Structures are given as structure tokens and as C-alpha cells.
Structure 1
Amino acid sequence: MNHLALRSSFLLLAAAALLPFARAEEKVPLKLQLPKPMFVGTPVPVKLPNLETPRASGRRPDFMVPKGVVNLALNKTVTSSDMEPVLGDLAQITDGEKAGDEGNYVEFGKGKQWVQVDLGAASPIYAIVVWHYHSQARVYKAVVAQLSDDPDFIKDVVTVYNNDDRNVNGLGEGKDPTYIETNEGRIIDAKGTKARYVRLYSNGNTTSDMNHYIEVEVWGLPAQ
């Protein structure tokens, strides 16, 4: 075998070895089934220092994720800081129903509250999507998203979103923007962090001191 043929064979072997990694990195747009828009009533003026400017028109830009991701949270067990919500059942938060109709949300009491999804196994997570309450233009305050393999969130906690700019939750001052709820939900970039548990905090909203969740989706690759 001459030098050129040997070099070509080496390059082919190297390319074949890298192929699985290339496939693993193949990215596709995250496809979400969105509920219908249903703002009702007169919007309450929202004035917050770190409020994200709402998109004027058009569809949300694609959020890219690895090919093969699934909603790991669907029908998974949900626990909370308040195991007896004011309205609704915890199971509604991962039941796949995202409509903003009356009765299709879970309401928790005033102040800092959290909900937690047990994915059943540690998995690479690329996106968390949360719908708090989208039949009215409101902002939920001090929203924090954390990941961990510890169900008590004491050790090895990774914060992937924090817009608590005054540290009212006691989890550290956040720099992420607050945002007005819509039927699109909020996509949080989890950056492929591997974890079993997902915990989401909030601390009231611009309409009332109560906390609400319609649905939480966690998009990742199934555990191997």
C-alpha cells in the first residue's frame, strides 16, 4: 500500500470513529404543541426593572435541541412545597394539558413556592418549558429553575434560570429577565445538564401574591 492510499485509509477510519459523535450533536428545532392564545380581561400594566421586551410579532425563534429528545416529564411524579394546593392536583402539572381554561391550573399559596418533577432517572436535559398561567398578561416573580440528582436540593444543585433580582427566594441574586406569560410558555435552556430532579420556584405574580402552574415539560434524551 503506497503512502497516499495509507493516508486515505487513515482518514476514512478517523471519520468513521467521529460519526457517532456527529450524530449525537445533530440539532433540530424543538417542536412544542402550543395551546391556543386566550388573553381575557384588561391587561394589568407591568413595570419591572428587568422585564423582557415582548416580541412585537411573528413566531418565536427556533430553539435547537439534539435529535431524539422527548418530554421526560410527561406523567411523571410531581411534589411541591405545598402538597395540598389551593386549587387543582399536582398531577395536572405533567399531564400534557396546557390549555389556559379555568380549572386547568394548579394554584399554590402566597410567597415562595416550588414544584419538583422526578424524571425517574438522571438524563441529559436540554430544555425546560413552563406555563404558569396564560389567560392573562402577567409576570411571575422570582422564577428560578434548578436541577439536581438530590431530591432535597441540598448538594450538587445547578441553577439554569434565575430572574430573582432581589434574592427574595434566598437562592442568590438572578440576572435573567422577567417575562410576560403567553400561550407559548417559557423555554429555559438547560444546556444538556444531566439530572434526575427539576425544581421550579416562583414568588407571586403581578396580579396577586398566589403562584400557579399549568404545565411543565422537560425535554431531554432518555437515560441509557
Structure 2
Amino acid sequence: MKHLILGIFQYFNQILTAVFEVLDDSDSSIRELALALIVEMVKHQKDSIEDSVEIVMEKLLHVTKDSVPKVSSESEHCLTIVLSQYDPFRCLSVIVPLLDTEDERTLVTCINCLTKLVGRLSQEQLMAQVPSFLPALFDAFGNQSADVRKTVVFCLVDIYIMLGKAFLPYLEGLNSTQLRLVTIYANRISQARSGTPIHATQ
């Protein structure tokens, strides 16, 4: 498949558009094949995909809600590749606005995506980005869905571990129970990863 894609490089945009259309096919096996092709394109045609990364992400995020587990799982796999290899700021430009969604599944996926992107930023870059998404994360912390709240906790924990005490002033927007939950998990995970807990003042 890799050689096929390399051989038709000049028709890349047309092929990508056609593959996107197939993602709406009523046959789940066809949708799965389309995603497998997108995975190959994402892996081996990075320069070409880079120009369309926002569109690719939007399509993949939509397909993560597919009713067929194999299809949604393949979409999440492809999305993970994009998040790990492509410009994190362009990825953030897609993810951050979607944090305001009321769709529980999309919200969980987007927060998980944000958690993956956080780890790719330097402390300075992350600190600069925090104000753009933190209000939406705090709103999601009050969501009625336990899955949403859980993903928020682990996202905040990863940010906290990266930024340390510099992140504490931002956490003042949480209530005491939420703050305690975040600091407990941050200390546990930091201890497990590096052997050193985060000592937070509360």
C-alpha cells in the first residue's frame, strides 16, 4: 500500500477527498478500509497531509463516534498518529474549539486529544496555551458524565506535572473537592513516573 501511495503522489488531494467521501459509506467494512488507507497516507505522506491536517482531524473526530467499534477504534488510532507527528499548534486549533461541545463522546475524545498534545509542548508553550482551553476544561469538570470528569482530571494532572507549582494559581478556579482530586492524582502519578511527588500547597 505504501508503494501505491508513493506512486500516485501527484493526485494526492483528489484521492484524499475521495477517501473522505467513502468514510460515509453504509458498509462498515468499506469505512474500515478507507481508514486503513488514511493511516498509510498519514504515515507516509506527511508533507502532503500537513496542508490538510485540520480537515483530516475533523473527519477523524467525526468517525470516532461511528457505531461500529472497529471503525471508531481505527479512527482513534489514526488520530493518535496525527497528534503525535503533526504540528501540535495546528492540532490544538481543531481541538480547543470543540471542547465547548455538549456531545459527551466528542468531549471525551477531544480532552484525550488535548492530553496527548500537552506532552508535546515545552513548559513555556504550554503556559501560553493554558488560558485558551482551561475555562472549557473547568466547565467539563462539572459535567454529569463520570467519563468526562475522569478525562478532565487526567488532563489537568498531566498539565500540573509539566508545569509544577506555576500551575497552582490557575487551579484556583476549582472547588476544594476538585482541587484535592487533581493534586492527589498528580502526586501519585508523578511519584510513579519519576519517584518524586508534587508537593502542593492547598
Q: Normalized against structure 1, the TM-score is what?
A: 0.23
Name the larger-Rg structure: 1
TM-score (norm 2): 0.25
Higher relative contact order (CA 8 A, sep 6+): 1
Q: Which has the higher helix share?
A: 2
Structure with the largest fraction of strand: 1
